[in-house]
Structure 1
């Protein structure tokens, strides 16, 4: 008899996946980019954080509605299949398995290593940092593959830990900035330097990485107790909570140091802010919690990455479905899927290094930030799901059937437009890579042997 994934996670783990994956590396990693994109215009930067958060909340609400009605194997892939069709569900799953999950996981592995390197005074793109990135990637995979329950507990623990530096900076940084006048100066100085293009769109695209990851919580749909109730609760509570925390942290950061310091500090900008408010010793200690928060994000993404090939194989589709559909009887983990997932993440880590961290790119024009464009792609792929939700869900009330899906389509289009305006021709070269990946998925699709009821 075929081994199935058991119901081993509760509501707390689901919330921890939403909050723990979203809050972590991105808010520290992208805060400086948002300021650079807006030329140091703090109110415009805050607006971009709110817009990015609004997009997340709208999309999360729509998937929360779907989660109350459908429970199969892998959340968002199930919704794509139910709403648009079996073929679309497969290609959505293929994209998640070979591009989205491994690309996100690999970037966060490097970001975790990056902040470790900042603590130790190493080059963030040097051999030490890249070795650590690989070690963190394998370590996260090992925990998830050997003990998925331990990975769930780790996710909850790191979620609590990562709120410590954010909460302290939000409260103490705000008070500190109001007392010494730094916050008023940052809010009223306007743009410090001139920027090209559309600064708001560029900043919003920058926030998309910081807000992304909530969709990963749907990957444990089949392993979540009372999924039809707990998954929607986790999506909505987690999304709103994240926006609230981000806004307060960003304001607190504005009270810690001048915008020019954060913009010039690069990878050390966040550490400078913490050290300024909490002294060097306290700042360093709190920055350790920043690194821990990145570990939590990496763990949550790896939880999703290791299950991505299983989502296809369980439907009898994709390459070697008879291999990737196997679930280990001891660990209750799709081990073969997990191995393939970490291999794909290693490939994307190699790409990220060669495209973004070396002086001369290995890939020429085909170099892009793999922490952003895959996210924009997934928003584009949400649109058919929202559209078919309007057509099919006739028994739902007006808010859930029409208003929120239409807002979801508008929010997704906004993200795509922002990417086109801010990234330009890079999208074309990324599009070529995307099409090649999809064609490969078509070749390896195979025939579905049975319907999943």
Structure 2
């Protein structure tokens, strides 16, 4: 069963993976949180989306530069290995395989189920939502494990579909809002509700981090991408800039659809309410079906990364049982055992997310944290040593690529870490305890390389 991964994806799949993973759920899921965090202050909310977008674009540009120089198994792990050696590469690879991929994949399964329940008028935290979450999780796994080429085509098609509701709301919402005066009113109304945090902008930016996250997962198909040294940088650069622009316009379009107070009171139905207001009940329902498909496309992209997490470690003879997890199925050209373990961990983190965030009384007491945001901030912290060593080692690069952009990326990552401490307070420390335990376990079980 063991042989190399084939070059089966082209530039369009890579671009679709960047756009498709990032766009899909967070912009719908976190738009209301950004508005609530800022007390309905629309300009401050837009500023949060702009800051989050700049952080994403700067970091993606630096990784795009690295992508032109290194190509192996899994982009970000390759870059960590080139910058700081095998131990740090394993450290990041284990984090992504055991925490990052499965936490985001599990949250996306629930978000997809959440909007399905909103569409059907069901409870978003009840038995129906969790049953649908499990179905979506297993269905996405089956698609990727049994037919990776079909999963790639699904990624491209859902990317095209998910742009439709965002673009329509961005254009029509702004036009309607300017015509009826709602957009101007929302821009000038200022804070209209009590702000629950001392630093609302920090809380809002951390919320946008979930909406903007996912672009780095596109590097997980590095070994399967045709002409990766050219196509991956193009995909990262174009994809992230497009996402930032469409998010800012969409958020502005929402403000033209309904007043800030109505949007904040709508909760999980806020997006559907905005679409129905602008496009009528029937049109709003049809477009909201596109929203659900959009979320499923994001889930598929995350699962593409999740199924390859432990393979990227095993390919380096690291992690648990490398001989088991480096096996590639001869028929599907997929790392089957790695896929199965990725699905299992996604199920575990889905159970954790439900118990810590969706139940009236959190199951895990003080160890209940938001698994949709804190792992994302962690990966930004892990980028910092890579950027520092890039400035030290990459002597053939010009000043702009070697020093200026990595320095800006470091500043962006530090900002995200500080913002997370202000946004999540004590929960950060309990999350770090769990993080340390999982990472220590990963360090213990990896075999010593001869």
Please state which band the TM-score falls in when normalised by the shorter chain.
Answer: over 0.9
Distance in 1, matches of 2:393 and 2:376, equals 26
Structure 1, residues 70-118: CA drift from partner, whole Å, max 9, x if none? 0000000110111011100001000000000000000000000000000
Aligned residues: 449
TM-score by length of 1: 0.99
Q: Distance in 2 between matches of 1:249 and 1:71?
A: 35
Return the alpha-carbon distance in structure 2 between the equivalents of residues 131 and 422 of structure 1: 31
Structure 1 equivalent of residue 38 of structure 2: 38
Partner secondary structure for residue 396 of structure 1: coil
Query: What does residue 277 of structure 1 align with?
Result: 278
Structure 1 residue 445 displacement after superposition: 1.2
1:188-227 deviation digits (Å, cap 9, x = unpaired): 0001012131010000000000000000000000000000
Q: 1:122: which partner in 2? A: 122
- Tell me how far 1:447 sits from its aligned partner: 2.1
Residue 100 of structure 2 aligns with which residue?
100
2:295 maps to which residue? 294
Q: CA offsets per residue over residues 371-416 of structure 1, 9 Å max, x none?
A: 0000000000000000000000011000000000000100000000
Paired with 2:273 and 2:394, the residues of 1 have a C-alpha distance of 51
- Residue 262 of structure 1: how far off its partner (Å): 1.0
Q: Deviations over 1:303-326 (max 9, x none)?
A: 000000000000001001100000
Q: SS in structure 1 opposite 2:332?
A: coil
Please say if 1:248 is aligned against 2:249.
yes
Runs of at least 4 residues off by over 2 Å: none
Q: How does 1:222-241 map to 2 (within 5 A)?
A: 222-241=223-242
Deviations 1:219-255 (A, max 9, x none): 0000000000000000000000000100110111000
Q: Identify the residue that residue 3 of structure 2 maps to in structure 1.
A: 3
Gapped regions of structure 1 (runs ≥ 5): none
User: 1:406 aligns to what?
Assistant: 407
Query: Which residue of the partner structure matches residue 361 of structure 2?
Result: 360
How far does residue 448 in structure 1 lie from its aligned partner after superposition? 2.8
CA distance in 1, matches of 2:170, 2:422: 32
Structure 1 residue 43 displacement after superposition: 0.2
Which residue of the partner structure matches residue 214 of structure 1?
A: 215
| Alignment partners' CA distance in 2, 1:85 and 1:342 | 29
SS of 1:315's equivalent in the other structure is coil
Deviation at 1:2, TM superposition (A): 4.0
Distance, in Å, in 1 between the alignment partners of 2:426 and 2:342 is 29
Instruction: Indicate the residue corresponding to 2:12 in structure 1.
Output: 12
Q: Which residue is 1:186 aligned to?
A: 186
Q: Which residue of 2 aligns with 1:137?
A: 137
Q: Counterparts in 2 of 1:321-360, with a 5 A limit?
A: 321-360=322-361
**Per-residue deviation at 1:283?**
0.3
Between 1:440-449 and 1:120-129, the stretch displaced more is 440-449
How many angstroms apart in 1 are the aligned matches of 2:384 and 2:11? 28
SS in 1 for 2:372: coil
Cα deviation code 1:345-376 (max 9, x no counterpart): 00000000000000011000000110000000
Q: What residue is the counterpart of 1:397 in the other structure? A: 398
Matching residue of 2:69: 69
- Equivalent residue for 1:383? 384
The separation in 1 between residues aligned to 2:14 and 2:245, in whole angstroms, is 19
The answer to whether 1:315 aligns with 2:316 is yes
Q: Secondary structure at the match of 2:319?
A: coil
In 2, Cα distance between the equivalents of 1:22 and 1:265? 24
Contact 1:6–1:223 (CA under 8 A) maintained in structure 2: yes
Q: Do residues 55 (structure 1) and 55 (structure 2) align?
A: yes
Task: Measure, in 1, the Cα distance between the counterparts of 2:194 and 2:102.
Answer: 35
